[in-house]
Each structure stands twice: as structure tokens, then as C-alpha cells.
Amino acid sequence: MVALRTLRVHGVVQASLHDICKATLIAQITYASPTWNRFLSVADRNRQQSIVTKAKRLGYLPANYDSFDQLCANADEKLFLTYYNPNHVLHQLLPSVKCSGYNFRSRRHNYTLPNNNTTLLINNFIINRMLFVC
């Protein structure tokens, strides 16, 4: 925030200030958010949201900028859509494709859901988040 204030004092244009804030402040508070976002408490979420709100209030971000929760949801969506690409490095960690002769409604994925609830499965980031949450 101090660096952004210094830039504004030195006459940086508002649009450039928005871009700098997105590239620095927002990137820092949302770094790797798909992995740790669901472990945040309500107090932690409020703390992160207050940073975004303060940046909006001070004019470092546009007034209609997304909330912290929306930023994390967008990061999740962007990350998990890349896993469906068969050339993605983590694609091999997905379970096998489920083959069915029936014409059911479309799903977000066509992978076989594991039915054992072992600690390894529960703590597996890829399977737990991509198949069960999405």
C-alpha cells in the first residue's frame, strides 16, 4: 500500500495505478489460492477482503472490482479448467474415464469417482477439489 501511495503521489495515472495494484497487491493475496482458500477461517477471509476493500476505497482498484471470494473462485475455475487438457502435466493424476452406454445428462467431468474415503483420498488436492467440489 505504501508503494502504491508513493506512485500516486508521484503522478502515476489512475489506470496504470489499477494495473500496478492488480499485478502486485492482488497477486500477493491470491497467490496459490486454489490450494489454501478452503482452509481459511471467516476471520481470515474478512482480513483478505478488507485489503481489497481498502484498495478500492483509496482508488488503487476500480470501484466495481471483484471481491476476494470472487477472485479466488475465478482462480479455481481457471486452474481446474486446465486439468481437462490431456497435455497438462497434472492430467495423469486424474482417475480413469468412466465409460457408460447410457445417455445421461452432461456432467462437468466424465471421470470415475473413487468410493473409498481414505485419508490419502481426502487430502488429495487434485481429486478432492476437481471431482467432488466442482
> What is the tens place of the pLDDT at every residue in 23-51?
999 999 988 888 788 788 999 999 999 99
For position 49, what pLDDT does the model report? 94
Roughly how many angstroms between the first and final C-alpha of the chain, as a whole number? 34
Residue 11 has pLDDT above 70, yes or no: yes
3-state SS track over the chain: CHHHHHHHHCCCCHHHHHHHHHHHHHHHHCCCHHHHHHHCCHHHHHHHHHHHHHHHHCCCCCCCCCCHHHHHHHHHHHHHHHHCCCCCCCHHHCCCECCCCCCCCCCCCCECCCCCCCHHHHCCHHHHHHHHHC
pLDDT in tens, 75-99: 887 876 666 677 777 666 666 666 6
For position 36, what pLDDT does the model report? 83
Highest mean pLDDT among 12-21, 78-87, 103-112, 120-129: 12-21
CB burial of 27-47 (b: ≥16 within 10 Å; e: otherwise) equals eebbeebbeebeebeeeeeee
**% pLDDT > 70, the chain:** 62
For position 110, what pLDDT does the model report? 62
Q: Give the integer Cα–Cα distance in Å for 37 and 79.
A: 13
pTM of the model: 0.63
What are the residue boundaries of the structural domains of the chain, listed by start?
2-79, 89-133
